Structure 1
Amino acid sequence: MTIRPLPSVLAERAKNELNEDPNRLKNDLQSLKDWIAKQPHLRARTDDQWLLAFLRGCKFSLERVKEKIDLYYSCRSTAPDFYRTIHTDPKFNEILEMGVILILPNFKTGAASAYEPLVTIVRPGAYDPDKYSITDIISVSHVLTKIVLMECDNATITGTQGVLDLDGVTIGHFVQMTPSVIKKMVVTTQESLPFRVKGNHYLNTPAGFEIIFNAIKSLLSEKNQNRLYVHNKNYEEMYKYIPKDVLPAEYGGNGGTIKEIIECWKEKVQEYSSWLEEDEKYGTDEPLRPGKPKTAEDMFGVEGSFRLLQVD
């Protein structure tokens, strides 16, 4: 097995909260690899560290892992526009440079916060909606998320927190958020990924925000509705959930500057360049799926028919 050893703090949490058993891990991984090999429609990664992320995200329930992996790769086939801006696309670097998506690396690695949920800040006001679409932004986030799944154990063990900073958003940003886009966004960024979402926090909310907020909220289970926090301009309230050690200086924290975080991710994407290129070959061949092939309508429903998502 090529598995990264865990710090004792995370190993204990993985055991107690996720049912992780090092003595069973080799067999679990082999079971998944055998299952993937038998699926005629599925082209999936079988790296040990990659599969381990899905095992942790599903608390080591093999049946749930199989469903999650199938869903993850089905999304690539049924919502290709949400994966089209890849790391070699000039748009990718432009979006990365603007700091629209900041996955916080937590520079204070010796701090207790190093083992807290991974925090991502999304700043849609940083991009021009006349030049870029929300699907471009989500595509970039998917690339970065692949790296997180391979590298960040605390994300798959202790979970994630999201911050949506709406400072500078315009009507141009809002009109991109159609019901169809919102449904695909929730499925591809939450339901299909092996992360336990611990909270989503909203900052600098403008007039009209309630419409989008209520649309997103209606897609979530009651448990996840209770994990939504609207702070607007009250950063002190946010600090009760997200340590200052993690946050960028621009948000009152001491976790580095936005520029430093961007540079960190540019280097990381470069480091993973060949891995990301190879990853493009994975997905599903729906005509080969046993039974009925999945379609976008199956996956995301028709306009107006929001379904309740259970995100663990």
Structure 2
Amino acid sequence: MTVRPVPPILAEKAKNELNEDPNRLKNDLQSLKDWIAKQPHLRARTDDQWLLAFLRGCKFSLERTKEKIDLYYSCRSAAPDFYRIKHTDPKFNEILELGVFLVLPNFKLDAASSYTPQVILIRPGAYDPDKYSITETVSLSHVIEKIVMMENDNAIITGTQIILDLDGATIGHLMQMTPSVIKKMVVTTQDALPFREKGTHYLNTPAGFETFFNAFKALISKKNQSRLHVHNKNYEEMYKYIPKDVLPAEYGGNGGTIKEIIDYWKKKVQEYSSWLEEDENYGTDESMRPGKPKTAENMFGIEGSFRQLQVD
């Protein structure tokens, strides 16, 4: 078994909040590997650290973990547009350098904030909607998230907080958020990834925000609905939830500049280049799935009144 040891404070949190039992871990990992080997349709990673991320995200329920692993790889097949931009594509670096999606590294590793939910900063207004699409930025996020799953135990154990800064967002950005795109975003993130979302914080909300906000809110779980916070320009209110130690200088924090964080991720992606290349081999072959194949229609079908959503 090759899993990374975690600091005592994280080990205690994993035990109390996620039901992690070191004495059972080897058997749990082997159970998942045996199950994956028996699935004719599924090509999934079996690295211990990778599988541990899914176990933690599902609070060590083996059945829930199997479902999430299957859904994660099914999304790659059913929503290829959300995984289209690879780390080797020129557009990947272009979008990365814009700082549209950044997991904030904690440069102050000795701070108490090291063991608070990992902060993800999303800035859609940083990209030109005439040049890039929301699906391309989501493709980039999925690459970054894979790296986080492999090496950031804090993000998996303590969960994540998302800052959605809408400064500079335009009607062009809003028009890209079609019902189909929003639904796919919810399934490929909330449902398929092993991150436990602890809160989403909206900053600098533009006119027309309510349409998007209400549509998105209708699609997420009740628990996550209660974790939505609209701060607009009130950064002081946000500081009650997110430590300044992890925030970029541009947001009144001590966690480096946006450029420094972008440079950190450019190096990190380079470090993982061969791993990411190899990771492209995994997914599902729905023609081999026992029972009914998973398709985009049955995974992302738009239901009820949401189909009637219109953007004024």
Q: What's the TM-score, normalizing by structure 2?
A: 0.97
1:310 aligned residue: none
Q: Is the 8 A contact 1:117 1:161 kept in 2?
A: yes
Counterpart position of 1:98: 98
| Maintained 8 Å contact 2:201/2:229 | yes
User: Distance between the aligned counterparts of 1:52 and 1:305, measured in 2?
Assistant: 38
Separation (CA, whole Å) in 2 of partners of 1:113 and 1:306: 39
- Distance in 2 of aligned mates of 1:221 and 1:185: 14
Q: Distance in 2 between matches of 1:105 and 1:62?
A: 30
- Residues 100 and 126 in structure 2, CA contact (< 8 A), matched pair in contact too: yes
Shift of 1:30: 0.3
Corresponding residue number in structure 2 for 1:150: 150
Unmatched runs of 5 consecutive residues or more in structure 2: 308-312
SS in 1 for 2:246: coil
Runs of 4+ in 1 over 3 A off after TM superposition: 302-307
Aligned residue number for residue 193 of structure 1:
193
- 2-side partners of 1:113 and 1:264: how far apart? 19
Q: How does 1:76-115 map to 2 (within 5 A)?
A: 76-115=76-115
For 1:245, what is the secondary structure of its paired residue?
helix
Unaligned runs of 5+ in 1: 308-312
For 1:240 and 1:287, locate their aligned partners in 2 and report how far apart those are by CA, in whole Å: 50
Q: What is the aligned partner in structure 2 of residue 245 from structure 1?
A: 245
Change (3 A) 1:196 1:106: same
Deviation at 1:302, TM superposition (A): 3.3
Q: Which residue of 2 aligns with 1:52?
A: 52
Match of 1:2 in 2: 2
- CA shift, 1:304, in A, is 5.4
Give the superposition deviation at 1:303: 6.2
Superimposed CA distance per residue, residues 284-304 of structure 1 (whole angstroms, 9 cap, x where no aligned partner): 000100001011011011365
Percent identity between matched residues is: 82
Separation (CA, whole Å) in 1 of partners of 2:38 and 2:101: 37
Q: Deviations over 1:160-196 (max 9, x none)?
A: 0001000001111010000000000111111100011
1:12-23 aligned at under 5 Å gives the runs: 12-23=12-23
- The one-letter code matched in structure 1 to 2:175 is V
Between the two proteins, the alignment pairs up a number of residues equal to 307
Cα distance, 1:223 vs structure 2: 1.2
TM-score where L is the length of structure 1: 0.97
